[in-house]
Structure formats: C-alpha cells, structure tokens
Amino acid sequence: MTRPAAFADVRALCFDVFGTVVDWHGSIAAEVRAFGLPLDGSAFALGWRAGYAPAMQQVRSGALPWTNIDGLHRRVLDGLLTEHGIALDEAARESLNRIWHRLHPWPDSVPGLQRMKRCFTITTLSNGNLSLLVALAKFGGLPWDAVLSAELFHRYKPDPEVYLGATRLLGLAPEQVALVAAHPSDLRAAAACGLRTAYVPRPLERGPGGGIEGSVDGEFDLVADSFEALADELGA
C-alpha cells in the first residue's frame, strides 16, 4: 500500500501518551474506587486531570521551578485531597500518585504500535517524565523504540523546544517526523514546527459524554479512528 503523500518522507512517529495511547480517565477512576476513597472515581479523575495544564503553566511562567509531571501530579493531588477533606499519610499519597504509572492502554494501542513499528521508528513524545513513561511501557507492554519526554528539554508541550528537540535527538528533519495525538492543540503546535500530523480522536478520553477538543476538517495530514486504522493508512 502506498503511503499518503504527506508521509512519503516520514521515518519516525512520535506519540502523545496520556489519552492518546493510554486511558487515563478509566484507569484512574477504577483505581480510586479500588483504593477505597469515599469519592466518585470518575469525578476525581477529571478533577486531577483538570489541574494538569495550570500546573504546567506555573512552571512555564516561572512561578514554579522546573518540576516534573510526577511532582505536578502530586501537587494537584494534595490540593484535591485537602478540598475533599481526606487525610492520607505520605505512603498512601505516594501510592495514589503512582496511579499515573499504571494507566491501561486503549485496546487498539499495542497491536497498532506493533504494526507501525515494522515501518517506522516509534517513540513517545509526552509531557510525562521519563521514569513515568518507562513504567507505563512496562505495565502496558508498549513496544517503543525510544522513550522521549519533555523532561529531557525542561520544557512542556506545546513549547516548540519539545517538538524540535525530539527531531534533533532522532537525527531527523521535522518533516521526517510525525506526531500522533488525540489532541488538536498538540498537533497544531507540532505542525507549526514543521512536523507531520496524525489525529486519532479518543471520544472516551474523559469518560462517556466527556467530549473532545474541536478541530477543522482537513487541518491534519491524517485522521484515523484507531491505531490499527492509522497503521492501515500508513501501509504498515
């Protein structure tokens, strides 16, 4: 099968992870329930994720020194526990925070990645810190060729340094690298740096009825409804 023209020179696929490769909402909701907290697991997962972008913005603005995602997740978690009046000791808080290291892949993620790996170098390109991404790969059997993290650049997506840093580490020009993501804002930032883009929407990312970011028809190089469908389009 012939590749789409926009992907004729692409040699590496970089994947966003949270929501794109792994189901953070479903995984966290289930673990919060199993942990025995007197909370709605789905609402707690959504509240935890809602603190993600503001926490990164504090790092970008200089209000916080460089702090990795494990550290930011912990700050958000501590705030949520205080808000809900839940007292947990340090060991319990640390265990709860490591839920983010045990997120289950979407059902199509591993088989789709295995197919694409045959034709491309496949890597993460996530705001998650390196140790978190390695743990997710081990937990979910994710067959990465390399694990690239925003932590390597002390920047967070959508800063250009992350996308261009990844292409540099891969030894490729931006147009030889594609970002695969479920988030149009991430893909737009990558495209602005010269990367190719593949949009794989995940309608259940925020749970049933949670909605997805808006996008415009034709703004990304490829659109597929699963990793296996993307592999089909790429001839993998």
The answer on 122 and 208 residing in a single domain is yes
CA distance linking residue 5 with residue 131, whole number of Å: 36
pLDDT value for 1 = 63
Q: What is the pTM of this model?
A: 0.96
Number of domains in the chain: 2
Residues 6 or more apart whose CB falls under 8 angstroms from that of 74 comprise 93, 94, 97
CA distance linking residue 12 with residue 21, whole number of Å: 16
CA atoms within 13 A on the CB side of 20: 27
CA distance linking residue 82 with residue 80, whole number of Å: 5
pLDDT value for 211 = 84
CB atoms within 10 A of CB 61: 8
Contact 197, 187 (CB under 8 A): yes
Distances (CA, A) of 44 to 85, 140, 217: 13, 23, 33
Ranges of the chain whose pLDDT falls below 70: 1
Alpha-helix residue ranges (DSSP H) falling in the chain: 24-35, 41-50, 52-61, 69-83, 90-97, 109-117, 130-140, 160-170, 184-192, 227-233
pLDDT value for 106 = 98
Which domain CATH number covers 229?
Answer: 3.40.50.1000
- What backbone phi and psi angles, to 5 degrees, belong to 220? -115, 155
Q: 3-class SS at 223?
A: strand
The answer on 140 and 37 residing in a single domain is no
Q: Which of 101, 117, 150 is the last residue of a domain?
A: 101
The answer on 115 and 212 residing in a single domain is yes
CA distance linking residue 108 with residue 75, whole number of Å: 32
Which domain CATH number covers 52?
Answer: 1.10.150.240
The answer on 42 and 152 residing in a single domain is no
pLDDT value for 3 = 86
The answer on 133 and 44 residing in a single domain is no
The answer on 73 and 115 residing in a single domain is no
The answer on 156 and 49 residing in a single domain is no
Residue-range definition of the domain harbouring residue 174: 5-23+103-233
The answer on 154 and 58 residing in a single domain is no
The answer on 181 and 127 residing in a single domain is yes
The answer on 138 and 78 residing in a single domain is no
